[in-house]
């Protein structure tokens, strides 16, 4: 993996990342109060860790995140990472209208079509209106032939399995699951670093469909659905899956980096700290403090020096860490 050379540990202190506003036809022109964006283009996704996101603080400020991973992957990811790229793409989803009915390929199918990996993801529900739902998988007994017929007849939504959601829920969306996001919720989406989406049905919008690839990707039965949380001694484990782990950490006053590491963690690796509510600050003796306002994210590189997270008022801290298949987590 490429490296820029040995740097003082303070060069790899935690740093905040600027969000990237990704236009989508089904999004909002005004994201307030969640984000400050107001504009002519509707924004459906706020990318928190995309390659085009810009480092906001520290010695690497101003650099695109993708370039930083390319130049200094070991400092960011640790020595056990099998790839120099960011392993996870983290977004906040804002749906003013229904998204397309879609499916994502798994790693094997993605590689068949020349892509490095597929797309398994999960949703952490940040906010949900009463009665909010998403669609997760197909109803029992639905066949691929039926899916094909309903794509062309415009009735595919009738075969989807609706799932009511509330704030704090976690939903696993395994690759191969036919799914849709409907209006009424705001979701923190954590996924493999891929934007591969095969649209099966798009409610008449003039966008490309990917019916044949999509049907090849569809699994009639998957592991997708709501994931029960686990209350541990010092944190809540939201999900621990093949590609990622999400945990919610209470911060009373402040919390040291040692206590933010999971018991039994191997060599340090990259972690993301997301302020789902309130605000925090990351401090340490070897670097300038990094503010973590509400709904922003900070990277904690594998080579980071010790630090502490301070609660500046109502901090709801989510830690997101990657798993690499074949590498012991």
| Residue 170 and residue 107 share a domain | yes
Write the pLDDT tens digit of every residue in 55-96: 999 999 999 999 999 999 999 998 877 778 889 999 999 999
| Residue 267 and residue 190 share a domain | no
Three-state SS string over 36-95 comes to: CCEEEEEEEEEECCCCCCEECCCCCCCCEHHHHHHHCHHHHHCCCCCCCCCCEEEEEEEC
How many structural domains comprise the chain? 2
| Residue 159 and residue 71 share a domain | yes
pLDDT at 188 over 50: yes
| Residue 43 and residue 156 share a domain | yes
Give the mean model confidence (pLDDT) for residues 88-108: 97
| Residue 128 and residue 105 share a domain | yes
Residue 51 belongs to a domain: yes
| Residue 99 and residue 38 share a domain | yes
| Residue 247 and residue 181 share a domain | no
Distance between CA 144 and CA 260 in Å, rounded?
A: 45
Residues belonging to the active site: 199
Write the pLDDT tens digit of every residue in 190-213: 999 998 999 999 999 999 999 999
| Residue 283 and residue 158 share a domain | no
Domain holding 220, by residue range, is 9-226
> Mapping DSSP to helix (H, G, I), strand (E, B) and coil, where does residue 130 land?
coil
Residue 1 belongs to a domain: no
Instruction: Choose the final residue of a domain: 226, 254, 282.
Output: 226
């Amino acid at each position: 993996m490429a490296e820029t050379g040995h740097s003082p540990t303070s060069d790899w202190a935690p740093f905040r990342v600027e969000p990237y506003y990704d236009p989508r036809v089904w999004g909002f022109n005004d994201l307030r109060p969640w984000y400050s964006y107001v504009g002519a283009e509707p924004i459906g996704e706020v990318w928190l860790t995309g390659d085009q996101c810009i480092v906001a603080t520290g010695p690497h400020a101003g650099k695109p995140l993708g370039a930083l991973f390319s130049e200094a992957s070991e400092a960011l990811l640790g020595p056990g990472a099998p790839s120099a790229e960011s392993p996870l793409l983290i977004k906040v989803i804002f749906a003013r209208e229904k998204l397309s009915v879609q499916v994502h390929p798994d790693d094997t199918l993605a590689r068949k079509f020349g892509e490095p990996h597929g797309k398994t993801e999960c949703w952490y529900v940040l906010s949900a209106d009463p009665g909010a739902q998403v669609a997760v998988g197909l109803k029992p007994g639905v066949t691929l032939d039926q899916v094909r017929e309903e794509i062309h007849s415009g009735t595919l939504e009738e075969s989807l399995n609706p799932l009511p959601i509330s704030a704090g829920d976690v939903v696993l969306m395994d690759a191969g699951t036919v799914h849709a996001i409907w209006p009424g919720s705001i979701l923190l989406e954590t996924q493999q670093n891929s934007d591969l989406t095969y649209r099966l049905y798009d409610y008449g919008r003039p966008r490309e469909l990917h019916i044949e690839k999509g049907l090849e990707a569809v699994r009639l039965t998957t592991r997708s659905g709501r994931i029960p949380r686990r209350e541990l001694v010092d944190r809540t484990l939201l999900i621990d899956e093949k590609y990622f782990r999400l945990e919610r950490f209470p911060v009373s006053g402040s919390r040291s980096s040692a206590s933010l590491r999971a018991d039994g963690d191997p060599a340090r690796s990259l972690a993301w700290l997301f302020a789902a509510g309130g605000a925090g600050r990351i401090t340490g003796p070897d670097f300038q403090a990094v503010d973590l306002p509400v709904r922003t994210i900070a990277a904690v590189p594998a080579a980071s020096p010790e630090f502490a997270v301070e609660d500046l008022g109502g901090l709801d801290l989510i830690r997101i860490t990657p798993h690499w298949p074949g590498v012991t987590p």
